[in-house]
Amino acid sequence: MATSKYELLIHLADERQQAAAERMGMAQNRLAESRSRLDQLHAFREEYRQRLVSGGGQGISIIQYQDFRRFLSRLDDAMVQQQQDVDRCAQRFVMERQAWQMEYKKFKAYEKLLQREREREAQKEARLQQKQTDEFATRQFWDRSRGHDS
């Protein structure tokens, strides 16, 4: 079968959708890493807060208490910034997923067009074969009919 005009389009669309899938995967990894860092900050803050609570029972100075509070405040600020990073990463992932879905749909559409083209070619070939078979049968019929008339 001859090369279809759609095969190059399919090849290019496949490359584009694979590249989009790779970008989506990288965005998903960045999102997971960002969430992991946020989780670590939450865990560290809770651990540090527990140290403040347990240290408070043993008695700590005002300066130590102020240092604990200042450090917790810095952790809170870091958590806010990290949550913003998580949000940005999530938005990026959504955009990359939508881009991949669009490229994938194009790829599948070209595949469908190629399939339809091949089906049309197969039908055309089947009609040609049927026509040739009919013509051959008709010739044989006429050749036998003439042979009996003489």
Looking at the structure of the chain, the number of domains it has is 1
pLDDT digits (tens, 9 = 90+) for 53-108: 776 667 778 898 889 889 999 999 999 999 999 999 999 999 999 999 999 999 99
Q: C-alpha distances in angstroms, 34 versus 17, 56, 67, 107, 117?
A: 25, 33, 27, 32, 47
* Distance in angstroms (rounded) separating the CA atoms of residues 29 and 127: 54
143 in a structural domain: no
Mean of the per-residue pLDDT values of the chain: 91
Give the angle 35-86-46 at the CA atoms, nearest 5°: 50
Residue 139 domain flag: no
In a domain? residue 94: yes
Q: Is the pLDDT of residue 3 over 80?
A: no
Instruction: Examine residue 72 and state whether it is found in any structural domain, yes or no.
Output: yes
Distance CA 144, CA 108 (A): 53
Does residue 11 fall inside a structural domain?
yes
Residue 84: give the domain boundaries: 5-113
Model pLDDT, residue 148: 64
Q: The domain spanning residue 44 has which CATH number? A: 1.10.287.1700
- Whether 148 maps to a domain, the answer reads no
The structure tokens listed for 148 are 């009996």
CA-CA distance, 115 to 130, in Å (whole number)?
22
Is 44 part of any domain? yes
User: What is the Cα–Cα distance from 80 to 55, expressed in whole angstroms?
Assistant: 26
Question: Whole-prediction pTM value?
Answer: 0.73
